[in-house]
Amino acid sequence: MTDFMEISPGRHHGKRLYLACMLWFFGRAVQAAARVDDGVKSEFAAMPDNFTFCLGAFPSGPYMVVGKDAHGRVRHLGSSLADRTIHLHLMFKHPALLFRVFAFQENTPVANARNRLYVLGDVPQACAVVRIIDMVQVFLLPRFLAKRAVKRYPAWPLKRRTLIRAQVYARAFAGL
């Protein structure tokens, strides 16, 4: 005789909520940095208008969607993929793996090297998005955490480290 049971997948509500909050704020910070920081601006400038990308987890999120509208304006578009054409997906293979990155247990380059990420879309654009994510992480995180999050902590000028950073924070909170 064999013992048989069925297990439905279920959800990890706590981690999903944490990730949703982090992605929401991070998306607003990307939008803010695209307005005030030349480095982020120039990365977005090279992308076509009406370009939308998402960062998220397989198979069903959570997601962060960011797009550049027809006028070249960068906007955080929330967390839903519905009714949108996404040109570039930057996806972690499992929400738990995305969680590791947002809980600073593993940085993005290492997660990438460990095959925890996959990309659907154009690789040069994916490279640009990763650089944007790196820059925004440096804006948002204290130095000791940012050093763990990026491969090489950048030597930015004082203005970028202070004034621009403050603007990114303020705009991210205000949603500007």
Instruction: Determine, following the binding rule CB under 8 A, whether residue 157 of this chain makes contact with another protein.
Output: no
Q: Say whether residue 158 binds another protein (CB under 8 A).
A: no
Instruction: Tell which one of 74, 128, 140, 164 touches another protein (CB under 8 A).
Output: 128
Q: How many CB atoms lie within 10 A of CB 60?
A: 10
85 binds another protein (CB under 8 A): no
CA separation, residue 79 to residues 5, 31, 67, 83, 162 (Å): 35, 14, 12, 12, 29
Q: Which is nearer to another protein, 98 or 172 (CB)?
A: 98
Q: Is 144 in the site for another protein (CB under 8 A)?
A: no
- SS3 assignment, position 114: coil
The residue count for binding another protein (CB under 8 A) is: 54
Structure tokens at 99: 């969680």
Take residue 80 and report the two structure tokens written for it.
């839903």
**Which residue from 124, 145, 166, 170 is in contact with another protein, where contact means CB under 8 A?**
124
Residue 77 beta carbon to another protein: minimum distance, rounded to whole angstroms: 21
Rounded distance, CA 134 to CA 164, Å?
15
Q: Kindly report the number of other CB atoms within 10 A of residue 5's CB atom.
A: 4
- Contact set with another protein (CB under 8 A): 1-12, 15-16, 57-60, 89, 93-97, 100, 106, 109-110, 112-128, 130-131, 147, 150-155
